[in-house]
Structure 1
Amino acid sequence: MMIRAFLRAATLAACLLAVPVAAQQQDARTDGKTFGESLRGDAQQAAQTQRSAADIPNYDRNAVRDLERLADNPDQIEGAAATASRNHQGHRLVRDSLANRARFESDDIEAVIARSLAINEAPLDYTSGMSISGSQGECVPLPPGSGSAGTYTATCNTGTRIEQSQGQCFVQLVASVTQRQQWHYLCNETGFAPNVPLCSSFDQGQCRITGYRPGPCLQWRVNGTNRFCSEPGDPIAEISCDAADPRYTPYEVTTDRTVDTASDESQCLGLSDNSDCALDTEICTDSSPQTRVIDGVSVTRPCWSWQRSYSCTARSAASDCSEIEDQGTCRFLREECLTDSTPCETWERIYECPLPAGDSDATQYVCDGDVYCIDGSCETIERNANDEFKDAVTALHAMDEARGAFDPDTLTLFRGTRNTCSSKVFGVLNCCKGKGFPLIPGISLLVALGCDREEVLLHQRDAQGLCAYVGTYCSKKFLGVCLTKRKAYCCFESKLARILQEQGRRQLPKPWDKPKEEQCEGFTLDEFAQLDLSQMDFSEVYAEFTEAARLPDELETSILIQQKIEDYYSRSGQ
């Protein structure tokens, strides 16, 4: 009974729920149909309308045109990418970061590892135990190590190379004579002359009026004994034709000779048709005027032959950095544009390279301490090198040199001399080698090759470490491409003065001026007073002060002390 009641209730509830569900489905169909009808007009219009490229989001016609041009000329893709990369900040940031990353040669790493392994295998061979005695300590040489002799600045060039050439050719004047018969007739333009045809009756394409003569007199009069025409008739025209007119009889047949001249430029077509060549001069190569007989006709012209001179230029991508990059030891610092053009056509790449290591017999040692005992009290004598003495001596020498380097006219110290040297961009002759390159014996050889005597002397002084590199500027350019560059240096009387200038300018700070304008001014007294010589690296000049920095022999002194101690024990019988 209860089950039947439950079933009836469930059936009734289902019927009640079915009504709203069906209504909702009907409403959804209606809404969908209405929405579709609202879009039908737009869809039909879109299907019938011609769409343009501007309707495409983010469409750039110029960019597409550039891509199409590169697709037609794939050889230009690499050049366009290289040009874009030079001015792209992100690309240059990544490139400079990679170039400035610290690099170590595999040979140097292996040498350091080998030295470490040698010490690790037998450490007691290099660090002997402390001996409790009155004898001096023992020193054991370490395996040879590697050291750097310093660095120098090396530069090379990348960008566009312009090759200039001269071309010559000859132009000849060619003359020809054309012979042509002419038939001459008389005609009348009004029709009132008897027995004279109308001028319009002749072929106007082959005939032309060349002159006039008086027509027949219509009425004569007599004045005493003089007879004159009181009413002249219309003039009679003279007409010349290229062909005979069979209707009329010519009063004269003549032969005309026409001289035509033309320049034969066949030898110059290769230069004149080249857009990279420009005509410089055109010179007559024969005496003027000259008369020549052409087909029996004497022809006189001011000139019959000319010589033309052209200047031609050719552009190509170039780089002379392979020599530096192949060394594998140079570190890239920066890249500078040699010209003011945009985009830049010629770049100079600047590297820091190690100087070749010289022969050195210096050996490093590990020494144990010297132990001395007196009356049962033992003490180790430490043998520490005096690192401050050489710096002190160098600083004192700098102060002594400052007295001689003082300029009373400008009240400055350590003034330098401006020197420059030139080199062809992508050229063979380079008068700016300087530091890091071997000196060529004899000035005359480099002068004979094309260097100035002053440039050779600069090469020698820079190789001796007396000159500071300021920078490079373009001294001659053509069509935005640098052809010749000049390097600017400040040279000093001593290597110490150069180091003071280089490191002192960084302390102040007082950077070098533009390479084209730097005059190598010295320090003012106030500027020199601000310099901290203790913070400067004078390692380049330590060797020059070996004699001045020599200390008393510590080993000899320790032996004397030890001998006195032994003598004391001997005398006391202990």
Structure 2
Amino acid sequence: MRLRAFATGAALLACLLALPTAAQQQDARADGKTFAESLRGAAQQAAQGQPEAVDLPNYDRQAVRDLERLADNPDQIEAASGSASRNHQGHRLMRDSLANRARFESDDIEAVIARSLAINEAPLDYTSGMSISGSQGECVPLPPGSGSAGTYTATCNTGTRIEQSQGQCSVPLVASVTQRQQWHYFCNETGFAANVPLCTSFDQGQCRITGYRPGPCLQWRDVGYRRFCTEPGDPIAEIACDAPDSRYSPYAITTQNTVDTARDETQCRPFADDGDCTLEAEICSDDSPQTRIIDGVAVTQSCWEWERQYSCTSREAASDCSDIEQLGTCRFVREECITDETPCETWERVYECPLPETENSQQFVCDGDVYCIDGSCETIERTANDEFKDAVTALHAMDEARGAFDPDTLTLFRGTRNTCSSKVFGVLNCCKGKGFPLIPGISLLVALGCDREEVLLHERDAQGLCAYVGTYCSKKFLGVCLTKRKAYCCFESKLSRILQEQGRKQLPKPWDKPKEEQCEGFTLDEFAQLDLSQMDFSEVYAEFTEAARLPDELETSVLIQQKIEDYYARSGQ
């Protein structure tokens, strides 16, 4: 051990003694300046002279002629460049680089710049250096970083809202009795009956034929003791009139009771006249007794009153997006019609919102991370091992791939389809999920109207296990969506969900229509095409061991510190 320590100290001392002195550094700068002056004249002469083709490296006379032809016909430049770029390796590399490079939100970049400016304003507050004696210094907290906890999808509705209401009214039967006299006369319709007036001579508005009786016999015949009419005359009509006819004498005058019945529609007329109200049911609400005395006359009816049920609708413009818009942190993504109607009456607006920030561990810069020798300072890098979490995530993905393989369909990471419903513009929403706090107790949500399966979906989505596919209308009326249903694909782990979401974008293999998506997995060929290095697994990093400094790094820094102190002790400084 002593020999090893001595050898290490000797090596360190040799390195220190080999450092150039200030005089040597000054001589080196003078030599460099002299050498540059000697080349200046040749460089100026070469710049002023006309270059020869043979002196130009990689000069191609044919390529120059091609460029001259393009200059004479500029319309061919775009076509020629487009044709050449498709097969040019450099262009392909640039195109692939642009397509695969990381994207950063402007807010994140501004946060990093703000943090850097804060350190730049007072750098010594964060890295004050170490004293010449090598004693341990103070640790100063860095300004907060700009880490994000992820995002979630939030939706709201705009368009036409239909308000449905129920109406009820009564329709009573009103009966009235009218007494009137009737004057009865004989008349004939042919004009051949003697002393009997024609029926047409009576007032047709007040008189009406009520019956017939045989007319007088025109020819009789006696057969033995029997006598019968061989030529009967025309029948005589009986006519009743509401008023007497002074020309003729009635054969009878009678008094008649007339019963009139009518439904009183007064209560139900507002519903009947409203084009947005529909009669749903009509039932008899009063049928006993059926026979009643009206003005001294017995009147019998099967029903005396009816109860009607109406269903009414009203249209009005509506939106429930104010809550999301007032947050100020959500980014509008798209707007979709969920009724497949033209014109569309109900739209769903989709937003991407950040999840609430989680508490991050405080970061520090310590004096002990900086050491100086003769005014030259070096910093011990304290960079975490970022490859560790990437490696663990990749290994975990491979492990899950083994467990998520479906031998029946030969696919990987198959999900399960889950749906939940909510009233459009309604208060109860069983589909909030990720980004919204969980309501404790399944029974409460079930009591409010949610299915138990919907509550379980709410919990799984809040845990980051479900991918949002889309929304479709499950019930509509007059082209307006009343109830919508959201479709999700849920997986056994957050990692499987991220592989599905980001892997489908790489293939590309977009989700099917929300009403038809069955959450199929990747085939073996599709999974082999995925580039896991291009995927963002930051959501699952917290599930594994956080990136940590290697144990021997701290030990190495202590050894360096001890060697520096030994050097100062030997030199007597």
Q: TM-score, normalised by structure 1?
A: 0.73
In 2, Cα distance between equivalents of 1:216 and 1:329: 107
What percent of counterpart residues are identical?
79
**For the structure 1 residues 315 and 224, does the alpha-carbon distance in structure 2 shift closer, same or farther, using more than 3 Å as the test?**
same
Name the amino acid aligned to 1:457: L
Deviations 1:59-82 (A, max 9, x none): xxxxxxxxxxxxxxxxxxxxxxxx
Question: 2:458 matched to which residue of 1?
Answer: 459
Question: 1:8 matched to which residue of 2?
Answer: none
CA displacement at 1:328 relative to structure 2: 0.6
CA displacement at 1:369 relative to structure 2: 5.5
Name the amino acid aligned to 1:493: E
SS at match of 2:254: strand
Question: 2:35 matched to which residue of 1?
Answer: none
Question: 1:237 matched to which residue of 2?
Answer: 237
Of 550, 559, 567, which residue of structure 2 is paired with 1:552?
A: 550
Question: 2:127 matched to which residue of 1?
Answer: 127
CA displacement at 1:297 relative to structure 2: 2.6
The question of whether the paired residues in 2 share the 8 Å contact of 1:158 and 1:320 is answered with yes
Question: 1:277 matched to which residue of 2?
Answer: 277
In 2, Cα distance between equivalents of 1:371 and 1:181: 131
Question: 1:11 matched to which residue of 2?
Answer: none
The question of whether the paired residues in 1 share the 8 Å contact of 2:139 and 2:367 is answered with yes
**For the structure 1 residues 293 and 402, does the alpha-carbon distance in structure 2 shift closer, same or farther, using more than 3 Å as the test?**
same
CA displacement at 1:386 relative to structure 2: 2.3
CA displacement at 1:193 relative to structure 2: 4.8
In 2, Cα distance between equivalents of 1:186 and 1:246: 14
Deviations 1:406-460 (A, max 9, x none): 2222222211111111111100000111111111111111111111111111111
Name the amino acid aligned to 2:452: R
In 2, Cα distance between equivalents of 1:446 and 1:210: 74
The question of whether the paired residues in 2 share the 8 Å contact of 1:133 and 1:371 is answered with no
Name the amino acid aligned to 1:397: H
Deviations 1:215-265 (A, max 9, x none): 444554443333444554444333322212233322211112222221111
Tell which deviates more after alignment, 466-475 or 279-288: 279-288
Question: 1:535 matched to which residue of 2?
Answer: 534
Q: Which ranges of structure 2 fall in alignment gaps of 5 or more residues?
A: 1-104
CA displacement at 1:302 relative to structure 2: 2.5
**For the structure 1 residues 181 and 122, does the alpha-carbon distance in structure 2 shift closer, same or farther, using more than 3 Å as the test?**
same
**For the structure 1 residues 405 and 568, does the alpha-carbon distance in structure 2 shift closer, same or farther, using more than 3 Å as the test?**
farther
Tell which deviates more after alignment, 302-311 or 431-440: 302-311
The question of whether the paired residues in 2 share the 8 Å contact of 1:209 and 1:240 is answered with yes
Deviations 1:103-160 (A, max 9, x none): 869xx97x87875664344222223357777677875432234432111111100001
Name the amino acid aligned to 2:141: P
Question: 1:179 matched to which residue of 2?
Answer: 179
Structure-to-structure mapping, 1:206-221, within 5 angstroms: 206-221=206-221
Taking only aligned residues, the RMSD between alpha carbons, in angstroms, comes to 3.3
Question: 1:519 matched to which residue of 2?
Answer: 518
Question: 1:480 matched to which residue of 2?
Answer: 479
SS at match of 1:350: strand
The question of whether the paired residues in 2 share the 8 Å contact of 1:421 and 1:432 is answered with yes
Question: 1:328 matched to which residue of 2?
Answer: 328
In 1, Cα distance between equivalents of 2:541 and 2:303: 77
SS at match of 1:178: strand
Name the amino acid aligned to 2:328: G
In 1, Cα distance between equivalents of 2:288 and 2:135: 109
Question: 1:501 matched to which residue of 2?
Answer: 500
Question: 1:292 matched to which residue of 2?
Answer: 292
**For the structure 1 residues 219 and 447, does the alpha-carbon distance in structure 2 shift closer, same or farther, using more than 3 Å as the test?**
closer
In 1, Cα distance between equivalents of 2:438 and 2:407: 35
Question: 2:10 matched to which residue of 1?
Answer: none
The question of whether the paired residues in 1 share the 8 Å contact of 2:389 and 2:541 is answered with yes
Corresponding pairs, count: 467
Question: 1:356 matched to which residue of 2?
Answer: 356
- 1:162 pairs with 2:162: yes
SS at match of 1:503: helix
SS at match of 1:285: strand
Name the amino acid aligned to 2:447: A
Question: 2:223 matched to which residue of 1?
Answer: 223
The question of whether the paired residues in 2 share the 8 Å contact of 1:133 and 1:372 is answered with no
Name the amino acid aligned to 1:179: Q
The question of whether the paired residues in 1 share the 8 Å contact of 2:221 and 2:230 is answered with yes
CA displacement at 1:396 relative to structure 2: 1.5
In 2, Cα distance between equivalents of 1:233 and 1:572: 164
The question of whether the paired residues in 1 share the 8 Å contact of 2:287 and 2:305 is answered with no
The question of whether the paired residues in 1 share the 8 Å contact of 2:139 and 2:364 is answered with no
- 1:427 pairs with 2:426: yes
**For the structure 1 residues 329 and 364, does the alpha-carbon distance in structure 2 shift closer, same or farther, using more than 3 Å as the test?**
farther
In 2, Cα distance between equivalents of 1:338 and 1:191: 80
Deviations 1:305-344 (A, max 9, x none): 2221111111110000000000111110110110110011
Question: 2:390 matched to which residue of 1?
Answer: 391
Name the amino acid aligned to 1:404: G
**For the structure 1 residues 135 and 408, does the alpha-carbon distance in structure 2 shift closer, same or farther, using more than 3 Å as the test?**
farther
CA displacement at 1:538 relative to structure 2: 1.3
In 2, Cα distance between equivalents of 1:441 and 1:201: 93
In 2, Cα distance between equivalents of 1:127 and 1:316: 64
SS at match of 1:544: coil
SS at match of 1:323: helix
CA displacement at 1:378 relative to structure 2: 10
In 2, Cα distance between equivalents of 1:522 and 1:234: 98
CA displacement at 1:463 relative to structure 2: 0.9
The question of whether the paired residues in 2 share the 8 Å contact of 1:470 and 1:487 is answered with yes
CA displacement at 1:304 relative to structure 2: 2.1
**For the structure 1 residues 371 and 291, does the alpha-carbon distance in structure 2 shift closer, same or farther, using more than 3 Å as the test?**
same
SS at match of 1:281: strand
In 2, Cα distance between equivalents of 1:369 and 1:159: 61
In 2, Cα distance between equivalents of 1:483 and 1:306: 31
In 1, Cα distance between equivalents of 2:219 and 2:508: 115
In 2, Cα distance between equivalents of 1:293 and 1:442: 64
Question: 2:311 matched to which residue of 1?
Answer: 311
CA displacement at 1:201 relative to structure 2: 4.3
Tell which deviates more after alignment, 130-139 or 261-270: 130-139
SS at match of 1:545: coil
CA displacement at 1:380 relative to structure 2: 6.3
In 2, Cα distance between equivalents of 1:517 and 1:381: 57
In 1, Cα distance between equivalents of 2:521 and 2:545: 28
SS at match of 1:266: coil
The question of whether the paired residues in 2 share the 8 Å contact of 1:128 and 1:368 is answered with no
In 2, Cα distance between equivalents of 1:201 and 1:236: 14
The question of whether the paired residues in 2 share the 8 Å contact of 1:290 and 1:302 is answered with yes
CA displacement at 1:513 relative to structure 2: 1.3
**For the structure 1 residues 205 and 364, does the alpha-carbon distance in structure 2 shift closer, same or farther, using more than 3 Å as the test?**
same
Of 559, 562, 565, which residue of structure 2 is paired with 1:561?
A: 559
Name the amino acid aligned to 2:392: V
**For the structure 1 residues 178 and 529, does the alpha-carbon distance in structure 2 shift closer, same or farther, using more than 3 Å as the test?**
same
Name the amino acid aligned to 2:248: Y
The question of whether the paired residues in 2 share the 8 Å contact of 1:136 and 1:370 is answered with no
In 2, Cα distance between equivalents of 1:206 and 1:573: 146
In 2, Cα distance between equivalents of 1:371 and 1:112: 27
The question of whether the paired residues in 2 share the 8 Å contact of 1:137 and 1:370 is answered with no
Question: 2:88 matched to which residue of 1?
Answer: none
Deviations 1:21-74 (A, max 9, x none): xxxxxxxxxxxxxxxxxxxxxxxxxxxxxxxxxxxxxxxxxxxxxxxxxxxxxx
**For the structure 1 residues 573 and 146, does the alpha-carbon distance in structure 2 shift closer, same or farther, using more than 3 Å as the test?**
closer
The question of whether the paired residues in 2 share the 8 Å contact of 1:190 and 1:234 is answered with yes
In 2, Cα distance between equivalents of 1:231 and 1:539: 118
In 2, Cα distance between equivalents of 1:403 and 1:187: 108
The question of whether the paired residues in 2 share the 8 Å contact of 1:153 and 1:351 is answered with yes
The question of whether the paired residues in 2 share the 8 Å contact of 1:211 and 1:239 is answered with yes
In 2, Cα distance between equivalents of 1:303 and 1:129: 103
Tell which deviates more after alignment, 346-355 or 525-534: 525-534
